[in-house]
Amino acid sequence: MHRPEPPMSSPPSPAVDSAQHRDLRLEMVRSQLQMQGIKKREVLEAMRKVPRHQFVPDSIRPYAYRDQALPIGFGATISQPYIVALMTELLDLKPWHKVLEIGTGSGYQAAILAELAKAVYSIEIVEELAIRARRDLAAAGYARVQVRYGDGYLGWPEQAPFDRIMITAAPPSIPEALIEQVAPGGRLVAPEGASPQTQQLIIVDKARDGRVSRSTSIPVIFVPMVPKPAPVKP
């Protein structure tokens, strides 16, 4: 695809949607998602609809629809569109589902989840990112996504159980507290691995009787899921 490079001196474009951005999304869905095997109609539709460029900082907005992850500050990245679509497809969402995401980052994945589920809760450990994601979600019409600044290792006990949980940062092993917060019959999708070289996408299913089973999808590279630092003692 021809991608004109805007001059670096161009002023930041306002975070609005346009016919040009919609064309970029249609092309992204065709050339990145469908070509790589994403099939679920609702997932493709959500990826066509959510204005990905409105969830990235001004400086990288021209690259928002590229086939890659992009830095969004504070050590976080917005995942590659294909990975967002794959994880969303694997989550197998139904319109009545209550979903928890760990690692709000830009808020983009949360917006995709909000297109497909009834209620979305998302936890972010970097306060600045949580604030920015709340703002960008509201501006794009997803104010109903609940963003909490806090440690995802604890989950969101007051709202548990969740029909689905998606972790978008990689823990060395999937936290037990999060598996506990999956409803019977529910599913959790997460990258897992102690180092970026060894991460794999894992699917955890909880049967109606509470039995937990795991399967492995593809190798992935996510930023590590970090524990919240202990408070400094006075």
Tokens 């969830």, residue located: 55
Q: Using the minimum distance from each CB to ligand SAH, give the nearer residue, 130 or 204.
A: 130
Q: Which is nearer to ligand SAH, 152 or 193 (CB)?
A: 152
Task: Single out the residue of 124, 136, 163, 192 in contact with ligand SAH (rule: CB under 6 A).
Answer: 124
C-alpha 43/C-alpha 47 separation (Å) is 6
CB of 38 to ligand SAH, least distance (A): 16
Stretch of 36-44, 113-121, 124-132, 192-200 lying at the interface with ligand SAH (CB under 6 A)? 124-132
How many Cα atoms within 13 Å fall on the side-chain side of residue 212?
A: 14
Task: Tell me how far apart the alpha carbons of residues 156 and 42 are, in angstroms, rounded to a whole number.
Answer: 27
211-230 footprint of ligand SAH as x/- string (CB under 6 A): ------------x-xx----
126 contacts ligand SAH (rule: CB under 6 A) = yes
Q: Which stretch binds ligand SAH (CB under 6 A): 106-114, 157-165, 193-201, 203-211?
A: 106-114
Residues 6+ apart with CB under 8 A from 179: 188, 204, 206, 212
The answer to the question of residue 108 lying near ligand SAH (CB under 6 A) is yes
Nearest to 175 by CA among 204, 218, 199: 204
Q: What angle do CA 160, 133, 188 make, to 5 degrees?
A: 35
With CB under 6 A as the contact rule, which of the stretches 60-68, 90-98, 125-133, 194-202 interacts with ligand SAH? 125-133
Q: Which is nearer to ligand SAH, 180 or 184 (by Cβ)?
A: 180
Separation CA 182–CA 144 (nearest Å): 21
Tokens of residue 57, six digits: 């900082």
Piece of 27-35, 57-65, 87-95, 101-109 that binds ligand SAH (CB under 6 A)? 101-109
Q: Which residues are catalytic?
A: 79
Kindly provide the residue ranges of all beta strands, DSSP E only, lying in the chain, ordered along the sequence. 70-73, 76-78, 98-102, 119-124, 146-149, 162-167, 182-192, 200-206, 212-219
Q: How far is the CB of 185 from ligand SAH (least distance, A)?
A: 24
Cα distance between residue 6 and residue 80, in whole Å: 21
Is the CB of 106 or the CB of 163 nearer to ligand SAH? 106
Report d(CA 218, CA 202) in Å as an integer. 8
What residues line the site for ligand SAH (CB under 6 A)? 76-79, 102-103, 105-106, 108-109, 123-126, 129, 151-153, 168-169, 223, 225-226
